[in-house]
């Protein structure tokens, strides 16, 4: 993947954005019901179970950085994007809490997930509280901001619904999941909130509608590219770097882009791959066949294609570089 | 309880409001992801599991009626309140879906709850989808409307959090739940959305700020009164009328207003009641003691007190009459 250069490195941009946004985010979480605030702080990596301060770093903060960079792309100071950054971070935290329940995931970033630590009911409610707080935090930002946020929320849910339904569909035949459907799902599930972050930042920075739309599109494309790169890492990534088991996504029978692209190739090997997947075959052999059917190459080409429109927004380049290169 | 008279009876008001709002509500639900739309339609009583049309009636539609009446209280036609009615119905449906998961309730209105019928994960997501749709449905209604909705959402979650925490607290001693705390919880959990419904209806009907505030307050008071009457029915109501088992709330060890008021009385009987509750004693005997300690009388007086400010808004009187008299 092409290395892009920028005045700032991604770690610098991410750290600067986190520093800018964190006080407002902490203030917002501090307005929550104390029990909900503890679960929220735990999910952000700020505290341990029970409320003791944590040493951990939490997430990278890609969404909040996009909001800050969106404001800067509008020619405003980054701090103009802070309310947008707070709203999207809260929405992201809400979606992680609820997705972990739906997926039954017991761990995230090496710690028990919120539902595992606090129970399913409280985790559902903490997600709802974060959702409500996100809406509240933008209530004064004008109708355009709330329209953008609610559209992203609707897409987010739609993408998660499709992702859950993909798991119930067969590997072969007319009912199989096509790469095109995957792309739409990834745009909704991952891209919509990234696009919303950048667009909201630009909107609060006073950008004209065309700039807001460009940033929304760039964020969505970044989301698709990011998701597909994640899929590639989930099959061929180095476990020491990704922190995930070898062939983890294949063991979990996830319908990821490389696998779907491989199955879509009109070759005898694709038919053999489908049979192996249906029969719960050896992950090592499946990974080999996916690669042989061109799944890995197709995925990387697809990620590259989607990153082109992101690279056209200079402010977003450091993030693109950081997110997509990783250890590929 | 005083019988109030009005030009329309409550069943007429409720039916008229349902007819007015249903097309817009169905249209909104129709915009959801098909899987989410089925769960939403099932929760509204419009269809059976699988999507076949249902003969059932669904809920009474108190919230949507409050929105319509709120618009009329502002001197506008009831249809001006329809977007408000749609938003609060969607929020109500969201909160029922998630509350049923948190409370582990397997049935509602004689049918399996959504999580029981479709699974916990899908039910969490369907609740989120309803929540997102509610926000979206008001995105164009102006900042005042969204501020009102997001404040109600925050209160709703806060009330549910307190209600869940009440279950973990003791029956006696300084950590016990006081009637005052219960009142605050009920205002948040039940009153906030009723107040929001009436206030939003008035707001969309063009009412001045003072009228909007009066309707919000009246709806909140109605919610507290309604919740306390529900508590009385949950202990002494006729199972044939309420559809709930005799002493159901006592068997489930619920911290309801009559019980908390009884425990708060400075009598030896109150101490005996606390011991019985701690020892998981006979519900029949507990009900008798709660009544002996004045819990039932205190609850009815409390409900009456809160209904006074509702009665001051002529448009809301039929609902008040209908909701609070029931079979007391």
Q: Could you report the predicted ipTM of this complex, rounded to two decimals?
A: 0.93
Say if CB B81 and CB B41 are below 8 A apart: no
Please list the residues that pair with A112 across neighbouring strands. A107
pLDDT digits (tens, 9 = 90+) for B32-43: 999 999 999 999
CA distance A124 to A177: 29
What is the reported pLDDT for B57? Answer: 65
Is any Cβ of chain A less than 8 angstroms from the Cβ of B128?
A: yes
Contact B33 A162 (CB under 8 A): yes
Hey, of B135, B151, B189, which one would you mutate to test binding to chain A, going by the most A CBs within 10 A of its CB?
Answer: B135
CA distances from B248 to A135, B159, B238, B284, B285 (A): 37, 22, 11, 11, 14
Shortest alpha-carbon distance between residue B70 and chain A (Å)? 22
Chain B residue with minimal CA distance to A140?
B143
Distance CA B187, CA B38 (A): 31
Does the structure show a pLDDT above 80 at B242? no
- What is d(CA A212, CA A223) in angstroms, rounded to the nearest whole number? 17
Q: Cβ separation of B135 and A158 shorter than 8 Å?
A: no
Which DSSP letter does residue B191 get? I
Is B157 in contact with A121 (Cβ distance < 8 A)? no
* pLDDT value of position B239: 78
Q: Average pLDDT of B151-179?
A: 96
**Could you tell me if A101 lies within 8 Å of chain B, comparing CB atoms?**
yes
Interior angle at CA A163, CA A158 and CA A166, nearest 5: 125
Separation in Å, CA A212 to CA A87, A136, A309:
17, 22, 14
pLDDT at residue A3, as a whole number: 39
Mark yes or no for CB contact A153/B136 under 8 Å.
yes
pLDDT at A257 (0 to 100):
97
Q: Span B279-299, mean pLDDT?
A: 95
> What is residue A7's predicted lDDT score, i.e. its pLDDT?
60
Transcribe B196-225 into DSSP letters: HHHHHHHHHTT--HHHHHHHHHHHHHHHHH
Output the pLDDT for position B318. Answer: 85
CA–CA gap between residue A44 and residue A38 (Å, rounded): 10
If you average pLDDT over every residue of chain B, what do you get? 92
Q: Above 70 in pLDDT, residue B264?
A: yes
Question: What is d(CA B304, CA B169) in angstroms, rounded to the nearest whole number?
Answer: 28
Q: How many CB atoms are closer than 10 A to CB A34?
A: 10
Q: Is A295 left (phi over 0), alpha (psi -120 to 50) or beta?
A: alpha
Q: What is the DSSP letter of A204?
A: H
- Enter the pTM of the model: 0.94
B66 closest CA partner among B206, B215, B214, B204: B215
B121 closest CB neighbour out of A135, A153, A164: A164
pLDDT in tens, chain A (328 residues): 333 445 678 889 999 999 999 999 999 999 999 999 999 999 999 999 999 999 866 788 999 999 999 999 999 999 999 999 999 999 999 999 999 999 999 998 889 999 999 999 999 999 999 999 999 999 888 889 999 999 999 999 999 999 999 999 999 999 999 999 999 999 999 999 999 999 999 999 999 999 999 999 999 999 999 999 999 998 998 877 777 777 888 988 899 999 999 999 999 999 999 999 999 999 999 999 999 999 999 999 999 999 988 888 888 888 887 777 764 4
Q: Do A98 and B154 touch (CB under 8 A)?
A: no
Q: What tokens were used for A321?
A: 């570089």
A297 in contact with B, Cβ within 8 Å:
no
**DSSP H/E element including B111:** strand B111-112
pLDDT attached to residue B143: 84
Does the distance separating the beta carbons of A131 and B131 come in below 8 Å? yes
Core vs surface per residue A61-78: b (16+ CB within 10 A) or e: bbbbbbbbbbbbbbebeb
Closest CA to B135 of B152, B122, B120: B152
Rounded average pLDDT over B56-66: 86
Q: Which of A136, A153, A157 has its CB closest to that of B150?
A: A136
Residue B241 has pLDDT above 70, yes or no: yes
Token pair 């079979």 in the structure block, residue: B327
pLDDT at B3: 40
Q: What is the pLDDT of residue B326?
A: 64
């Amino acid at each position: 993947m092409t290395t892009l250069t920028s005045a700032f490195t991604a770690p610098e941009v991410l750290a600067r954005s986190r520093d800018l946004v964190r006080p407002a985010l902490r203030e917002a979480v501090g307005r929550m019901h104390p029990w909900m605030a503890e679960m929220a702080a735990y999910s952000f990596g700020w505290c341990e179970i029970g409320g003791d301060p944590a040493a951990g770093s939490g997430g990278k903060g890609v969404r909040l950085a996009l909001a800050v960079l969106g404001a800067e792309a509008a020619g405003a100071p980054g701090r103009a994007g802070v309310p947008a950054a707070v709203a999207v971070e809260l929405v992201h935290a809400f979606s992680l809490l609820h997705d972990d329940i739906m997926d039954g995931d017991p761990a995230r970033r090496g710690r028990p997930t919120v539902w595992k630590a606090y129970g399913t009911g409280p985790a559902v409610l903490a997600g709802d509280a974060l959702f409500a707080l996100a809406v509240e935090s933008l209530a004064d930002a004008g109708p355009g901001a709330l329209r953008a946020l609610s559209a992203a929320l609707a897409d987010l849910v739609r993408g998660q619904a499709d992702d859950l339904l993909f798991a119930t569909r067969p590997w072969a035949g007319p009912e199989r999941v096509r790469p095109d459907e995957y792309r739409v799902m990834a745009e909704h599930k991952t891209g919509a909130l990234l696009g919303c972050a950048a667009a909201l930042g630009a909107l609060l920075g006073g950008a004209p509608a065309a700039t807001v739309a460009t940033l929304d599109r760039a964020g969505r494309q970044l989301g698709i590219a990011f998701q597909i790169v994640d899929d590639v890492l989930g099959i061929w990534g180095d476990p020491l770097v990704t922190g995930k088991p070898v062939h983890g996504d294949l063991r979990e029978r996830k319908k990821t882009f490389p696998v779907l692209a491989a199955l879509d190739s009109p070759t005898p090997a694709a038919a053999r791959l489908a049979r192996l997947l249906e029969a719960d075959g050896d992950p090592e052999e499946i990974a080999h066949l996916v690669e042989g059917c061109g799944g890995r190459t197709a995925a990387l080409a697809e990620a590259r294609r989607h990153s082109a429109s992101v690279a056209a927004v200079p402010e977003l380049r450091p993030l693109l570089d950081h997110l997509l290169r990783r250890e590929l």
